[in-house]
Structure 1
Amino acid sequence: MSTDQDLEPRIDCTVDADGRVVFGLRPAPADPDARLLLALRPAKGEPERVTVTRLLDLGPADGTHRRTAVLPVAQRLPEGRWDLYLVPEPDGDRQRARPGPRDLRALVDGAARDRSAPVAARVPYVTKGGFLALRTWLRDAHAEAGRITFGDGTMTVEARLHGAELTPGAVVRLRLRGAGTALSAEVRAAGDRRSLSFTADLADLAAPAATARSGRCVWDVFVRPGGTAPPARVGRFLDDVADRKDIQVYPEIPVGETLVRPYYTVDNDLSVVVARTG
């Protein structure tokens, strides 16, 4: 017995190491002017607005009764979440697309390749509703987080800078969300001027929670490369994981009457949350 999902278009996709995405649609729409539509979803909590869209041409059907569309590397997409639709004919109603197979193998070791500015990443994923979507990042510079370790009341973070190079005067800034407070940490830079690490004192991070009305505070982490270069957010998105927050979870570290825990935000950026236990 067929279901509504059986009648919906399905799109498989392959991403290469440079970020080129090939979408394959089955069944192949009959109209030669059918298009694939990418629509930028408003951020959570934001009101509906005029939708930002991109239209991709579909090539002719191949031997497997599939039509393909290509999102080239040169076509930069604003950062966010893009929903995919089939537009089966000119001026036709768009149809939401279900996912087929996703080949993301080329993205797995993406953090090992140096990126120039602007730093762009694209990761296809399946939404909670079971539809195909594309998560994109686009930044002037980015610090890709690596290993995070704890010891002797400190937290040490390793990272690699993309889209910029470390120069004399480079520093890490941890900014207290919702306030003007910031902590600085020394950058230990490697000879390639990209790899770095820094260490933050957990007691310093925990201190604001003691007087916060909510008993909680959050620190966002940035690298200032030095010179006139703008700060680069520390995060992790140069691989095949679209949503890291609930996948890569760090332990809570007791510090006095607080618990300190680094975590990845909904945008895969690195932050540190501190909460009072009493």
Structure 2
Amino acid sequence: MNEDLDTADEFAPPRADCMADSAGGLTFHVSDWVRSGPGGGPDEAGSADALVLVRRGADPGSGSEVRLPLEPAEDGRLQAALPSTVSLPEGRWDVHVAHGEAEPQRLAPGLNDLRSLVDRRPGPSTSPLSVRIPYPTKHGNLSLRSWRRAPHAEAGELRVEGGRLAVRGVLYRVERPSEWLAGAVAEARCRREPSRVWTGPLTVGGAQSAEFSFTLPLAELAEGWTGGEEAWDLWLRPADPDAAPVRLARILDDVPDKKDIFTYPAQPVAAPHGAAKAGPYYTTNNDLAVRVDSA
């Protein structure tokens, strides 16, 4: 028998399989967890077992921790449920297990069943849209990426050609989406100089539709470009001055980090300060933006 494998198995961290539902909830199934009892030896499962979510970078005591009870499941593993109704603020959450007052222990990722998240289309509602996607960190631990948005503008097909960016999307979590969209406009806001804003009209899919589209001439973003990388964030701004604008993002699928996966070609654009290029990309939060840079 391989001694190295025996050692690795003995100290292997507990792991969790995750199953997502179409409403945005997650179920965790924990295995390979050896608890330490009062005498230092293994302890049995009990009511004090919990799955602990810790928000990365948050100050302790400010809603930075969520504890979910772990209960025995029929297959002998422990199970915890994170329903979509449990508020989980946006951010990255590290997943642990804990027994009583013992120090929480990080969980390793197991198998993920995220089929219900692929091409997810939420039903009509005005409640916040909950999105949670489990993923393995670069250190081999289990974490969650969480979003909670209302309204939400989901970016769909992007086409980059002829110096233009064509965007299609769907608006969720407003009472009457077609009325909200009827007087709305698309905006590109320069991150470096907030006073620079491009505004363009929206095309709405129909009288009762939540679908929208717009076309952004990329050269117009480069008119005030003075060199270096410049980012523009994409928004929808409603006609009602009292209503908040909505950030465009792509979160309704099973991909937690899109920046390096969903890539698009940059188009050459004319600029007063030299040759430039511009094209769309997704930020680290999966929000949609446009980058203008030197060609």
TM-score after normalising by structure 1: 0.90
Superposed displacement of residue 206, structure 1: 1.8
Partner of 2:137: 127
CA deviation string 1:17-71 (max 9, x = no partner): 11121100003552301111000001xxxxx632600000011253x32010001
Partner of 2:157: 147
Contact 1:27/1:65 (CA < 8 Å) preserved in 2? no
Contact 1:14/1:102 (CA < 8 Å) preserved in 2? yes
Partner of 2:71: 59
Structure-to-structure mapping, 1:194-205, within 5 angstroms: 194-205=210-221
Contact 1:120/1:136 (CA < 8 Å) preserved in 2? yes
Alpha-carbon distance between aligned partners in 2 of 1:82 and 1:106, rounded to the nearest angstrom:
21
Structure-to-structure mapping, 1:117-196, within 5 angstroms: 117-164=127-174, 165=177, 166-179=180-193, 180-191=195-206, 192-196=208-212
C-alpha spacing 1:91/1:216, structure 2 compared with 1 (3 Å): same
Contact 2:16/2:109 (CA < 8 Å) preserved in 1? yes
Partner of 1:246: 260
Superposed displacement of residue 119, structure 1: 1.9
- Runs of 4+ in structure 1 deviating by more than 6 angstroms, as ranges, are none
Alpha-carbon distance between aligned partners in 2 of 1:161 and 1:5, rounded to the nearest angstrom:
50
Alpha-carbon distance between aligned partners in 2 of 1:273 and 1:102, rounded to the nearest angstrom:
33
Partner of 1:75: 86
Name the SS of the counterpart of 1:2 in structure 2.
helix
CA deviation string 1:135-163 (max 9, x = no partner): 11011211111111133332111111111
Superposed displacement of residue 8, structure 1: 0.9
C-alpha spacing 1:199/1:53, structure 2 compared with 1 (3 Å): same
Name the SS of the counterpart of 2:212 in structure 1.
strand
Partner of 1:45: none
CA deviation string 1:164-192 (max 9, x = no partner): 22344210111000322111011101113
Superposed displacement of residue 112, structure 1: 6.7
- Identity percentage of aligned residues: 37
Q: Does 1:85 align with 2:96?
A: yes
Alpha-carbon distance between aligned partners in 1 of 2:88 and 2:279, rounded to the nearest angstrom:
32
C-alpha spacing 1:149/1:61, structure 2 compared with 1 (3 Å): closer
Q: 1:7 aligns with which of 1, 9, 12?
A: 12
Q: Does 1:206 align with 2:225?
A: no
Superposed displacement of residue 221, structure 1: 0.2
User: Which structure would you say has the larger Rg?
Assistant: 2
Superposed displacement of residue 193, structure 1: 3.9
C-alpha spacing 1:266/1:248, structure 2 compared with 1 (3 Å): same
Instruction: Structure 2: give runs of 5+ residues left out of the alignment.
Output: 1-5, 36-43
> How many residues are treated as equivalent by the alignment?
267
Alpha-carbon distance between aligned partners in 2 of 1:5 and 1:238, rounded to the nearest angstrom:
38
CA deviation string 1:56-109 (max 9, x = no partner): 0011253x320100011210100001000010x211011110011000000002
CA RMSD of aligned residues (A): 1.8
Instruction: Structure 1: give runs of 5+ residues left out of the alignment.
Output: 43-47
CA deviation string 1:123-143 (max 9, x = no partner): 111111111111110112111
TM-score after normalising by structure 2: 0.85
Q: Which amino acid aligns with 1:268?
A: N
Name the SS of the counterpart of 1:237 in structure 2.
coil
